[in-house]
Amino acid sequence: MTAQEAFSALQRSPDDAAVFELHGASMANHDRLFEEFSQRMSFPEYFGKNWPALQDCLDDLTWIPAAGSYLLVIHEWADVLSECERDRPVLERILYDVGSMWAQGPESMIAPFNTLLVSD
C-alpha cells in the first residue's frame, strides 16, 4: 500500500477507531522495533521487549480505552528490521495472529484489528 492509499484509509476510519502509526525507519533492529511499539502504543512498563511479549501486549490492549476497531499503520515497511530481515516473517506472523485473535475472540472482545503496511 502506498502512503496516499494509507492516508485515504485513515480518513475513512470510524470515529471510535484507535489508530497507531509506527515508523519503519525507527525499527531497523529488534531493540528499536520493540521500543517503537512500546512508545507509540503506550505499552505497560512490564512489556518484556521480545516477540512473545509483543504478541501478548497486542492481544491484550487493556491499558488503552476500548475502541470499536484498531488500526496499526506501519510506514516505511521496507525499513522494518532492515538490519535483520530474516526476522521480518516473525513480525508478520504476529500481526496476522493478533488480527485473527481480535476477530475470533470472546464475543465481548471481538473488534477489528487491522495492520496497514505502507511503503512510503
* 69-96 residue pLDDT tens: 899 999 999 999 999 999 999 999 999 9
For 47, list phi and psi in degrees, rounded to 5: -55, 125
Ramachandran area for residue 76 (φ above 0: left; ψ -120 to 50: alpha; else beta): left
The structural domains of the chain, with segments of one domain joined by +, span: 3-117
pLDDT at 16 over 80: no
CA distance 53 to 38: 11
Buried b (16+ CB within 10 A) or exposed e, 70-86: bbbbbbbbebbbeeeee
pLDDT of amino acid 85:
94
What's the CATH superfamily of 3-117? Answer: Barstar-like (3.30.370.10)
pLDDT at 7 over 90: no
* Cβ contact 40:21 at 8 Å: yes
Q: What is the DSSP letter of 43?
A: -
